[in-house]
Structure 1
Amino acid sequence: MFQNHLTLPLLNRGRFYCFPESAGHYITTREHEVRRPAGAMQEFNFHFVVSGQGYIERDGKRQELGPGDCFLYFPGDKQAYGAHPEHPWEIKWIHFYGSAVAADLKERGFHRSVARRLRTSAGLEARIDELLGEIGRHKLLHPSRVSMLTYGVLAEFIEQAAPMNGAGAGPATNVERMLALLPELQASAAEPFELDVWAARAGTNRYAFCRLFRRAVGQTPLAFLTMCRIQRAKALLVERPELGIGEIARRSGYETASYFNKRFQESENMTPTAYRQRFAGTRVFRI
């Protein structure tokens, strides 16, 4: 059993938004099992499954976990989890605390400790590795950086995690198919959007496409398309001062300036003209 177990001294719990008490990387054996009664642990307990299999138990039910799955226990929760007896998991984990984490998580819909499946896991694992590397090299020499990296893990988790509740977790290939379409969908955002065409390219029908897209990306195809169009419009407003609002609307995928104004104001809380005036003289550099 490989164990990389890193610990830090407890700081004033109100000093940072979030801060780790300990973190680590385990390649476990089949005997790995943890059971804590309610109230035994006063930190958040986050685990990410790198490979292998394991489980968590909640309300008397066992839920199997595999690569790309994760779980988060809130402070004071009863905890029960462990490795699969034949295919024990490799896990990366963080025990952390913070000044307002619980309230923020609940506001974002994370009301109770449940297992979750990541839409894509590479970003989260990279953030965890950054945190483990910082603690391993410098311990508590740079506490603000440790806090920042912990927040990065939490933000990536919030962005990518979806509940595992039977029908809510589809095959990874469906998610990967949707994610593979994003660069092309972004590049063609100014063109008319034909849902049936994109669904066919994903190998499914329009209803399944919308459902799978929302599961993979966290928003509807139309919401993603609108985000891409507004992003393009903002760049044109700053980079191309010679273009009128109507031309920018057309180049961003909107047939009329009035509808473009409406969608832009809904997104940015100001009109395109006000945005251009605010950032007059500024250029967007893509590095």
Structure 2
Amino acid sequence: MHPLPHKSVGFRFPSDLSLLTLRGVGLQRVDSHSYCWDNRERRDEHCLIQFCVEGEGAVVVDEMEYSVRPGEAFLVDIPGNSRYFLPQHATCWEFFYFEFSKECLPLLRSLYGHTGPVVWVGLDTPLAGQMEQLYRYGVEQGMVTQYENSRLAYELWMNLMECALAGAKEERSKVDEARAYIDQHYAQESLSLDQIAQHVGLSKYYLCKEFHRTFGTTPGKYIREVRIAKACALLLTNQDCTMEEIAHRVGYANNNYFGKVFRAEKGLPPDQYKRQSSHYDMVRTVYDRPKLGAEGAVSPESATVPAARPKRPHSGR
């Protein structure tokens, strides 16, 4: 990005044609924490794209907060259930902003459906260059006609849509990677949302939203489900393991906390779950796919596990 003057310009059209138009552009730098726009209280109607080039900002949409860092842009409908501001931990926020007429609402809602309100643009990309050129053109030369304005507005939105949809595909693969990472590291007591998000290169807020959208649950709940599923398998197939050993093997620091989580998930404590399995002479562990031996056949020792004999005979269930 080349150094540019911090200015803004608005565009007004005497025509009543229903065209998607650019209503205003600007480049602004803020360093006061009093900077805050609450879009629930605003009366001016437009859609906003705000592209961060330095520092950090924050936007809250439908009560969910997102960080906006260099190379990222957020999109909101004004008025609406959103607000944006300079967060307390940030010292400044520099950004381009582009205000559009409400005719762009279908495009904005389509983007929300694929990526949410924050889109990765990058700083040294053709789209970032297009935003800079559009700002420069608007400030230095203005728009000669409404048709020229609308053409440039549509061009920016089409390129933004293309960029966002390509990014959404890549980020969906990152959500799959996050689930695989949990499957591989569930036994680590230190496994956390921050650690998973850092591994896959997503913000934890975005990861939570996309993980829930993709799998119908949050990463935290998925970790618990995986750990308890693994614990159930150990309770059924390792009769000699103590509760403390099982707790450590599935990622819990102590068996007291493990017991609380197990009961919350399964509706009964782990020792009772274990005792229930002892009513059988044999326990067969059923996997989501056959466990194959060296020759590709189902391994009998992995499929059938003797259960502990009950201490006294029972007369059936």
Pick 1 or 2: higher relative contact order, CA cutoff 8 A, min separation 6: 1
Q: Which structure: larger Rg?
A: 2
